[in-house]
Amino acid sequence: MVYAAFLTIRDPELNQAVRPDHLSYIAKLQQDGKVLLAGPFQDGSGGMVIYHNVTEREALSLAEADPIIASGARDLKLLAWNPLDLTPYRS
């Protein structure tokens, strides 16, 4: 299953302070095969992490352990996501 974690900034100053730890944490999870994609929204409101190869419980646990969430710098909204296979629609 795939899970999308929406990480909305709650405290901009704390967010900046914790961001390096957050990025290291996400990079390690990507190296471990648990994060497919991650990145900020262009409007500066926060970002998104796409977890894969994990259960719902594991995705929630990983997201809550992220320093950016654990510190209170951002709010978390985690949703199960079903990416479409658009291969049949390509011309």
Q: What residue numbers bound the domain in which 61 lies?
A: 2-82
Query: Is 87 part of a structural domain of the chain?
Result: no
Q: Looking at the domain assignment, is residue 34 inside a domain?
A: yes
89 within domain boundaries: no
The mean pLDDT of 12-18, rounded to a whole number, is 98
**Six-digit token pair at 48?**
């998104």
Q: What's the whole-number average pLDDT of the chain?
A: 97
Cα–Cα distance between 77 and 91 in angstroms, integer?
Answer: 35
pLDDT tens digits, one per residue of 52-88 = 999 999 999 999 999 999 999 999 999 999 999 888 8
Query: What is the pLDDT, as a whole number, of residue 86?
Result: 87
pLDDT per residue over 41-56, tens digit each?
999 999 999 999 999 9
Domain count of the fold of the chain: 1
For residue 90 the two structure tokens come to: 């390509």
Q: Residue 22 sits in a domain of what CATH number?
A: 3.30.70.1060
Q: Report pTM.
A: 0.92
